[in-house]
Amino acid sequence: MNTSLRSERVARRAKAGGIQCSGGLQKLAHAVWQCKYHIIWCPKCRFRILRGALQKSVGEILHQLCEWKKLEVLEMNVQEDHVHVVLSIPPKFSVSEVVGFFKGKCAIKIFDKHLELKKRYWGRHFCCLILKRLKI
């Protein structure tokens, strides 16, 4: 094989870095993918409680959980009664796994930080989630 072709292939692989390709596509070992999901996260009974310190801590907690799973947050908007999150989820994770992880860990962290919510939301259940697959 010609050395210039080999070095060109190596340069392309290094440029891809196993993560980002051209056109917004991402790359794993055996797959090229672009999976974006719009997740809508609501407190129980859609109570309007996501204000002030709780609003800020919910955003921080969701960003922290995404860092743990190495997920990319494309957009996030925290309203009084719901949260919109647009995530790029790699195919190695199922969407239900990520949603279950968010529901469980987020509720635990919120109740640990904000003790006043335990009376209203007993049982460590805090939210329901709605999921939409984005069409590209």
CATH superfamily of domain region 35-133: Transposase IS200-like (3.30.70.1290)
Q: What is the pLDDT of residue 13?
A: 47
Distances (CA, A) of 35 to 38, 96, 135: 10, 14, 9
How is the chain split into domains, by residue range? 1-32, 35-133
Q: For the chain, give the mean pLDDT.
A: 78
pLDDT average, residue stretch 33-43: 88
* Residue bearing the bigger pLDDT, 22 or 60: 60
pTM tops 0.85, yes or no = no
Q: What is the pLDDT of residue 10?
A: 43
Closest CA to 22 of 38, 34, 5: 34
The DSSP code sequence of 32-100 is: EE--EEEEEEEEGGG-S---HHHHHHHHHHHHHHHHHHT-EEEEEEE-SS-EEEEEE--TTS-HHHHHH
